Structure 1
Amino acid sequence: MNAVDLTRTNELSRRLSAMSRERFYDVYHSFEWPERLDPDRFAMSPEITTLAGTEVLNSLTDEQIHALTVYETATLFSNTLNGERLLVSGLATQLYGRDATPEITDYLHHFLDEENKHMIMFGVFCDTYAGRVYPEKKLAFAEGPMAPGEALIRFYAMAMVVEAFGDYYNVRTMQDDRCDPLAREISRVHHQDEARHLAFDRAYLTELAAEHLPQWPEETLTAFRKWLAGFMRVNWVTFYNPAAYRDAGIENPYEVQQLALASESQKTLRRDISRGTVRFFLKIGLLDEEPEL
């Protein structure tokens, strides 16, 4: 019998499974893929690109700004796809495992199915409009022995960071009528699924943290918090993609990356986008202070 009280997670899992069945879709027939995106519409709101608020953005032509939104969308989708590859692998190992109740296992089947669909639609977008999926960047994964429950908490904390990050951009894009219809529809579909995934992440992490964190030695908790803050920072850095700048016709892409990362406007944007996730981690004890992002 699982020692963790998963009453709320089990109840939520039943509801989420029912919603996933009700909203089931065929990813291969859900989108129309034009030969090219509308050159008069953005693929992402310019105000949330990595160059928003910088002198570089002000120096770009309209064509370069349009290209930047396309290649930054491809970066977002590539990073999410690469993160979901790891998520799918981890979810599969949890099916019918000792840490998963029948209710959780049932929902994990839907979780897996939806993440696979996301990889398909992101992969098609990137291959069609950016010419490739941008390669995976190595993120900060933990190694060595772990405290009870730590591996599972790390897994869902990583999942929540990646999913909440992408979901912010989904919502902004799907609500912006300046953006291309395909980019908006992909964002809408992804947001619809991610809203359920994030609800599950929050419920499961809350109960796992309540059970396990009080039992961890102080040095384990300190090391975990340092790792989580580092993971959140690195996840952000991967979005500032020199290859995307180069593909958009922007000169000196590595210098532009460093300028953008250091920009006060971008620091504010990173804090604003991450605020909800940080507050949740502070609330359940996974962080004890706001990380510098």
Structure 2
Amino acid sequence: MGDNAVTSREPLAHRLLIGSVKKSYDPVVDLDWDAALDPDKLFLPPEVVSLYGTPLWESMTHEQRRELSRQELANVLSVGIWFENLLNRLLLRELMNGDPTSRHAHYTLTEMGDECRHMMMFGKLIDRIEARPYWPNRYERLTISALQLFLRGSMVWVGALVGEEIFDALQRRTLDDPELQPLVARAMRIHVTEEARHIGFARDALAHRVPTMSQAELRYTRLCVAFAAPLFVHLMTNWHMYARAGVEDGRAARRMARANPHSKRALGLGAANLGAFLEKQGLMGAVGKRIWQRQGLL
């Protein structure tokens, strides 16, 4: 990004820095990790659980649904840890080419600090709900590592938005659910509050970059946007979480979840604002739109 583009972003970066001073959290002290978990409450709202509304869901007891919600939360948090780890590496690389005295650089560092605390919060929450993290398999690890090579320029910010906005919209549905574990609701509120600043920063960066894109970069970005949807859905429907929840055939449960209209509707609600933003910026091509629709994200 050119010097003029960065300079034009300085006022927003300055406001975000002030906002970070006024309202930021330390999950070690701002969450009551010793509070007892409610033995009856779920770990995700029912309508956010991927099997909600399916025949398999209807056949489950409340205890089985609670266990599935616990495993799905552990998977969501694990994916969040991988994503924020990757995002920090991308942001650190961006700083190598930037002006370290700019407000833009200072807010980038502030966001990285936020993400480090979020990773710790997610790890502590997985441990507190007595679950195990979900690690990517060998091929997924290679894919995630390779993303560092491909996510450059505009794709740093597209990647940030795909990871942040869809999660953010799903998390907002957990904040005031009376059936949800209070500790989970509190953690999600902290994450939503701080991610709102990150999303504004990424949207602003992308909007400033689009007018300067070459046709080659524009086509490449549209291609990456198209394939972000299947990757997101794949990570959100890890068959191991169904197996750990006691479902006899985890792979069959994953197929059911991916075809579930309720699950697609939940993902679609989460991706609606992001899809509209990407389309407005000219980054949602015809192929990408079809793929996102097929995955339930539009």
Answer whether TM exceeds 0.5 for this pair. Answer: yes
Residue 210 of structure 1 deviates from its aligned partner by: 1.8
AA paired with 1:249?
A: G
120-129 or 21-30, larger mean C-alpha shift: 21-30
Residue 130 of structure 1 deviates from its aligned partner by: 4.2
Q: Secondary structure at the match of 1:84?
A: helix
Q: Secondary structure at the match of 1:19?
A: helix
Give the equivalent residue in structure 2 for 1:192: 193
Residue 30 of structure 1 deviates from its aligned partner by: 1.3
1:83 equivalent to 2:83? Answer: yes
Q: TM-score, normalised by structure 1?
A: 0.89
Q: Spell out the pairing of 1:29-44 with structure 2 (5 A cutoff).
A: 29-34=29-34, 37-44=37-44
Asked if 1 retains the 8 angstrom alpha-carbon contact of 2:166 and 2:267, the reply is: no
162-171 or 188-197, larger mean C-alpha shift: 162-171
Q: Deviations over 1:66-99 (max 9, x none)?
A: 1111111111111011100111112122236237
AA paired with 2:219?
A: T
Q: Secondary structure at the match of 2:51?
A: coil
Asked if 2 retains the 8 angstrom alpha-carbon contact of 1:210 and 1:284, the reply is: no
Q: Deviations over 1:155-189 (max 9, x none)?
A: 11111111112112221111211101100000000
AA paired with 2:210?
A: A
Q: Distance between the aligned counterparts of 2:161 and 2:56, measured in 1?
A: 31
Q: Which runs of 5+ in 2 are unaligned?
A: none
Give the equivalent residue in structure 2 for 1:251: 248
Give the equivalent residue in structure 2 for 1:53: 53
Asked if 1 retains the 8 angstrom alpha-carbon contact of 2:91 and 2:112, the reply is: yes
**Paired residues, number:** 285
AA paired with 1:238?
A: L
- Structure 1 segments, 4+ long, off by >4 Å, are 138-144
Q: Distance between the aligned counterparts of 2:190 and 2:203, measured in 1?
A: 20
1:232 equivalent to 2:229? Answer: yes
Q: Distance between the aligned counterparts of 1:253 and 1:101, measured in 2?
A: 51
Asked if 2 retains the 8 angstrom alpha-carbon contact of 1:39 and 1:66, the reply is: no
1:108 equivalent to 2:87? Answer: no
Cα 1:143–1:166 shift into 2, 3 Å: closer
Asked if 1 retains the 8 angstrom alpha-carbon contact of 2:172 and 2:192, the reply is: yes
Give the equivalent residue in structure 1 for 2:215: 216
Q: Deviations over 1:91-128 (max 9, x none)?
A: 12223623777011010121011000000010011123
Give the equivalent residue in structure 2 for 1:26: 26
Q: Spell out the pairing of 1:155-170 with structure 2 (5 A cutoff).
A: 155-170=156-171
106-115 or 125-134, larger mean C-alpha shift: 125-134
Asked if 2 retains the 8 angstrom alpha-carbon contact of 1:4 and 1:208, the reply is: no
Q: Which runs of 5+ in 1 are unaligned?
A: none
Instruction: Report which of the two has the higher share of helix.
Output: 2
Q: Distance between the aligned counterparts of 1:142 and 1:131, measured in 2?
A: 28
Q: Distance between the aligned counterparts of 1:35 and 1:269, measured in 2?
A: 30
Q: Distance between the aligned counterparts of 1:32 and 1:67, measured in 2?
A: 22
Residue 18 of structure 1 deviates from its aligned partner by: 0.5
Q: Distance between the aligned counterparts of 2:88 and 2:41, measured in 1?
A: 33
Q: Secondary structure at the match of 2:209?
A: helix
% identical aligned pairs:
27
Q: TM-score, normalised by structure 2?
A: 0.88
Cα 1:91–1:171 shift into 2, 3 Å: same
Q: Secondary structure at the match of 2:32?
A: coil
Give the equivalent residue in structure 2 for 1:135: 135
AA paired with 2:206?
A: L
Q: Spell out the pairing of 1:256-275 with structure 2 (5 A cutoff).
A: 256-275=253-272
Q: Deviations over 1:215-244 (max 9, x none)?
A: 223xx5334312221112211221112121
Cα 1:26–1:267 shift into 2, 3 Å: closer
